[in-house]
Amino acid sequence: MSTTTAQPARRLFGTDGVRGVAGEFLSADLALRLARAAALRVGSEKPSLRALVVRDPRESGEMLEAAVAAGLTSAGAEVLLGGVLPTPAAPLLLRRHGLDLAVVLSASHNAYADNGIKFFGADGHKLPDEAEAEIEALLANLPAGTARVGRIRSLDEAPEQYVQALMARFSTLDLHGLNVALDCANGATHKVAPEIFSRLGAEVKVLAAEPDGRNINANCGSTHPERLLACVREGGYSVGFAFDGDGDRVLAVDRCGDLVDGDELIALAALHLRQLGKLTGNGVAVTVMTNYGFHSAMAEAGIEVAVTGVGDRYVLEALRERGWNFGGEQSGHIIETGFNPTGDGIASALLALEALDGRDLASRSAMRKLPQRLENVRVRDRETIAGATGLWRAVEREDEALEGRGRVLVRASGTEPLIRVMVEAPTHEEVDEVTERLLGVVRREMV
């Protein structure tokens, strides 16, 4: 089991672009300047630059869309506005139209007050760390004017083109007779997800598909699946899927009302792709958060596993380094690079149904998930974890006791003053005992 953990720190760009409270940290001025800098960086060796902008439906999206379009055109770029679309539509449309840059405005699963900006290059991949660092460096010395001003037009056909791409990928999938419930998180999937499932023949019940700018991810979607769980269980649906606000992740619900996370969906799809001869390199990339049971199942199946830091960009880096095509995260970011070089919630849901081939998700057997508990402890300074020797001695002691049966993971949050404690063990009782001991050490040493 190999590991990739490099995560360089930057002032503005995090693991998924620039993100913060819209209008405060992420102001219209910052959005304009970032877009202008990105256009200058990406277009430095091009006679002209063509860019796409898409967004989720949170209320700050229109403001930031206007600012980004202004920044791009002020650097001479021609801009296509795709409107409200899932993040994964961006790289597909980018390649379809031969564009040079795509800008996605979304804060993913965050509440409506936040928003974010992420950039995709002409190859459909998020811009690498070096390019983001260069964009950030340009902000301090942006040129005042330009020799050419670009134009803006709406790409009205963008939603249909994304649906067509999904239809082409899953052209053999017949969902007639399937009763499916979809929780669209009042987000970017609220139109296209029901449309694609309906076209493939499913009878669709739609939840949280009336975005008002402020209800995105509010007690709905993949971060709050309780309503979907109850809907599937009480309404007699065959399966349910919950997307997040920007549609790049998905969780499933079986007919019994049990939640099926990304680990189980990845295991199911990995075995399916391997059976079809489409699991390139016979390997899968996942993060340190992935359940111990997943590793056991893949070892038993003879599938290699690469482990990365938390974040889909690191999963993708591992895939590119190894020439593999499949991986993802427990949170539901699942990447099949043969279709799309980023997480695609709708595609991942359809891949799960393709892997089931008419079988019931409730009878899944791709892996045995170990009991897991994850707790967050708010601390004064998350950086002091490196010198918390008592904590690391406790982690080592608990890890040794669980060797071959489970594991312990303690790490600092990348964005908040939190220490995350995760424990996996054969029984819930043992999980709780180990977790409480470690939480006690964290509180004594760091709170």
Active site residues: 108
Q: Of 250, 227, 252, 254, give the one whose Cα is nearest residue 238.
A: 254
Give the Cα separation of 78 and 52 in Å (integer): 9
Burial of 52 (0-12, 13-18, 19+ CB in 10 A): buried
The two tokens of residue 344 are 């695609």
Sheet holding 418-424, edge to edge: 372-378, 418-424, 407-412
CA-to-CA separations, 352 to 162, 210, 272, 336, in angstroms, rounded: 19, 26, 9, 12
- CB 337 within 8 Å of CB 285: no
Q: CA angle, 95 as apex, 89 and 96 as ends, to 5°? A: 85
The two tokens of residue 443 are 């509180």
Q: CA angle, 264 as apex, 352 and 56 as ends, to 5°? A: 65
Give the Cα separation of 51 and 35 in Å (integer): 10
Give the Cα separation of 310 and 328 in Å (integer): 10
The two tokens of residue 65 are 């869309």
Give the Cα separation of 106 and 23 in Å (integer): 14
